[in-house]
Structure 1
Amino acid sequence: MPHLRLSFDLRRPSFASATSAQLAETVLDICSWADRLGFDLTYFGEHHGAADGYLPSPLVASGVAAGRTSRMKFRPILLTPFYHPIRLAEDLAIADLMSGGRMSPVFAAGYVHSEFEMYGVGRSERRARVIEAVEVCRKAWTGEPFEFRGETVRVTPRPAQRPGPPIIMAGAAEAPARRAAHLGDGFDPAEPQFWDWYRDECLKLGNDPGPWVPRGPTFLHVTHDPDAAWAEVGPNLMHAGNTYAKWIAESGHGTSNWYPPINSVDELRAGGAYQLVTPEQCIAIADELGADGHLIFRPLFGGTDPERAWASLRLFESEVLPHIEVTEA
């Protein structure tokens, strides 16, 4: 049966019932619970200056969560152009060292205009900054001196993983998908169709990463009463989806995305990307994904109330998990 994964972003819209501190505490409690149950990976997203408090420091969050777990790995999604590459290499090395080698960062280029303005970085610099960050991290993690912008520098201590944490590339277009084959140790695209370009380029280099691994719904919530659950968490899901839709539209990032603008909860429900399901339906989803698939839970998506998030997770634990065999990394 599929790999079980988590994803968090700490968003808290104005109508959310929980405080940011309560959401943060719940994230750590859920990570501890999931680690015990066999979840193998947690994502932390990154955005800056968002009115709803979207997490700006995924690497810090990953490090703190690692302290509450013992085996689960962490995949902070880093908007790489906003980081000084030497400091990024140092921070990732320490996070990996202190977590016992459980970091696999995603290097993303970013797309939200206001964030580039906030950091004083031109969008035209994205490609060069991502490439530099990858190259610097690889050199830094050897522990040996190397040249950086005309100076000899050295980064110590080394990360736990050797030669270093795997660098996973992000991408939402053909060019970064193909570039990922040359730069990264893996690829985590925004949409599955980009995998074909990545795999095609990998094959040219003599490496076959295999076919796209299927993933579950964008949002999955287990409940005995889907209608009531939609009424409870639907506004949170609309907020999360429409925030992404707004950012993508403003960026001119492309028309194909997981987050088209949504005008009502009924419209969101009809779209199918968000699934509020019974335990039996959840088992069917897991069966369809198979052993290689990824079943990703975003229990606090859009600032969902922690009690409702926990009700779903506990139901998954008691009435779904006993009927599926979890694939561990």
Structure 2
Amino acid sequence: MWWMSQKYACEQVKCHPRWGSGGSRARRSRWVRFDTRSSLSEVGGVKMSWFDVDDGGTLMAMVIMRYDLRIPPPGSPAHGVTASGQYAACLEQVRWADRVGLDMVVLSEHHGTDDGFMPAPVTLAAAVAASTERIGINISAALVIMHDPVRLAEQLATVDLIAKGRMSVICGTGYRQEEFEMAGLDFKNRFADLERSVSVMRQAWTGEYFDLDGRRIKVRPLPHTPGGPMLLMGGSTPVAARRAARLHCFFSAANNDPAVADAYREECEKVGFKGFVMLPANAPGFIHVTDDPERDWNRLAPYIMHEARSYGEWQRPGQSSVVHVHNTETLDDVKASGVYAVVTPDECVALANKFGSLTMHPLMGGIPPELAQESLDRLERDVLPVLRGS
């Protein structure tokens, strides 16, 4: 699992994604940023937008809001929030994030889970797009093979039109056997299915007729973004990296293994594609800001333990991610992983300075909206003004 808050490692220049305005100065280095609302340029055959580095070479720290909208089942210590209440809270929070100048909303996808992990992120992305004006919207990862690629192309084009180009998608296959059985898919064919889905969506976004399995297909209206929303490929292995290069896709790695980046760059050179690979830093995947971390670790423990343990149960042999907690026996074990951070405002500023980004996951594991709002209020009051130098 990776979302667009991490450092980008490129072939010739370090890059940092910049979807929307309103970030915060964090460090000095040779970074370039891009913004969907600036003038377009061509990079590796993909239309992208670029800003120059800020005056003095400062990078603005990104602040991300991530959602998967789980509610632990009845009987769990973390159970208690309703699904309708949680979805309403999500939209209220993204409107707030848009207003205060945060950078990105990231939506994830899984199917058939006991805790109701969000199965329809494209639908929610449309609601987010309609509820906001400037914040970026990313689906990470979209399990594209679980959907008819023509219908998915139409749906993503619709969201891109509502969002006026603020949309991006990290494409994945999924890895839970139950999901493949639900979709009637052969797990062994997942990567071939992924390549086919990406190819079909790109053809669809030309707006011209094309043949698909003997059918004549045409998708209109065209997306707001020429050629369609930016598609990236996710994965954690050199094989996945090489596949992304062959498809002329940028690659977002789930881990920070240099061998994965090397495989991507080598394959890009072989196929003549000037792509880039994004390697995540070992930054927390959940941040809660509080004036009393010890108290709030205890308040948040049921939700943190639910998420950490469920991800652990889903991991397949050979799969790796920077947000996977290997030892989830006790809360102290999970604390020690660094994946979850319950911090004071000053400590939150230090995280932004260290990693160049903050990932808020305010409704993680079924956290009650009122508890989540306490953290967001402190972020707005005590952290953002410091990061912005105001």
TM-score (norm 1): 0.92
Residue in structure 1 matched with residue 62 of structure 2 by the alignment: 3
Note the C-alpha offset of 1:298. Answer: 0.8
1:236-288 residue CA offsets vs partner (Å, 9 max, x unmatched):
1110111111111xx43536662324011121112222111111111111111
Residues in 2 aligned to 1:114 and 1:253: alpha-carbon distance in whole angstroms:
19
Residue in structure 2 matched with residue 254 of structure 1 by the alignment: 319
- Which has the bigger relative contact order, CA under 8 A and spacing at least 6? 1
Match of 2:385, SS state, is: helix
1:120-175 residue CA offsets vs partner (Å, 9 max, x unmatched):
10101111111011111111111101111122211111101002111011112211
Residue in structure 2 matched with residue 88 of structure 1 by the alignment: 152
Give the alignment of 1:96-245 within 5 angstroms. 96-193=160-257, 194-204=260-270, 205=272, 207=274, 209=276, 212=279, 214=281, 216-245=283-312
1:105-128 residue CA offsets vs partner (Å, 9 max, x unmatched):
111011001110111101011111
Match of 2:276, SS state, is: coil
Match of 1:29, SS state, is: helix
1:199-256 residue CA offsets vs partner (Å, 9 max, x unmatched):
44335535263774646312111111111111001111110111111111xx435366
Match of 1:3, SS state, is: strand
Richer in helix (by share): 1
Residue in structure 2 matched with residue 38 of structure 1 by the alignment: 101
TM-score (norm 2): 0.78
Residues in 2 aligned to 1:170 and 1:4: alpha-carbon distance in whole angstroms:
21
Residues 119 and 226 (structure 1), Cα distance of their counterparts in 2 relative to 1, 3 Å cut = same
Match of 1:104, SS state, is: strand
CA contact 1:8–1:44 (8 Å) conserved in 2: yes
Residue in structure 2 matched with residue 19 of structure 1 by the alignment: 82
Match of 1:269 among 323, 326, 335: 335
Residues 184 and 32 (structure 1), Cα distance of their counterparts in 2 relative to 1, 3 Å cut = farther
CA contact 1:235–1:265 (8 Å) conserved in 2: no
Q: Which amino acid aligns with 1:275?
A: A
Residues 195 and 61 (structure 1), Cα distance of their counterparts in 2 relative to 1, 3 Å cut = farther
1:13-37 residue CA offsets vs partner (Å, 9 max, x unmatched):
1332321111111110111111112
CA contact 1:16–1:305 (8 Å) conserved in 2: no
Q: Which amino acid aligns with 1:138?
A: R
CA contact 1:144–1:155 (8 Å) conserved in 2: yes
Residues in 1 aligned to 2:273 and 2:235: alpha-carbon distance in whole angstroms:
21
Residues 163 and 256 (structure 1), Cα distance of their counterparts in 2 relative to 1, 3 Å cut = closer
Richer in strand (by share): 2
Q: Which amino acid aligns with 1:325?
A: R
Residues in 2 aligned to 1:59 and 1:12: alpha-carbon distance in whole angstroms:
19
Identity %: 36
Residue in structure 2 matched with residue 300 of structure 1 by the alignment: 363
Q: Which runs of 5+ in 1 are unaligned?
A: none
Residues in 2 aligned to 1:195 and 1:105: alpha-carbon distance in whole angstroms:
20
CA contact 1:40–1:73 (8 Å) conserved in 2: yes
Q: Which amino acid aligns with 1:227?
A: E
Note the C-alpha offset of 1:309. Answer: 0.8
What is the RMSD computed on CA atoms of the aligned residues?
1.9
Residues in 1 aligned to 2:306 and 2:83: alpha-carbon distance in whole angstroms:
16
Residue in structure 1 matched with residue 345 of structure 2 by the alignment: 279
Residues 191 and 212 (structure 1), Cα distance of their counterparts in 2 relative to 1, 3 Å cut = closer
Match of 1:198, SS state, is: helix
Residues in 1 aligned to 2:278 and 2:203: alpha-carbon distance in whole angstroms:
30
Residue in structure 1 matched with residue 23 of structure 2 by the alignment: none
Q: Which runs of 5+ in 2 are unaligned?
A: 1-25, 27-60
CA contact 2:349–2:386 (8 Å) conserved in 1: yes
Residues 59 and 255 (structure 1), Cα distance of their counterparts in 2 relative to 1, 3 Å cut = closer
How many residues in Structure 1 have an aligned counterpart in Structure 2? 321
Q: Which amino acid aligns with 2:64?
A: R
Residues in 1 aligned to 2:277 and 2:142: alpha-carbon distance in whole angstroms:
25
Q: Which amino acid aligns with 1:268?
A: V
2:376 is the alignment partner of 1:313: yes
Match of 1:216, SS state, is: coil
Residues in 2 aligned to 1:120 and 1:224: alpha-carbon distance in whole angstroms:
49
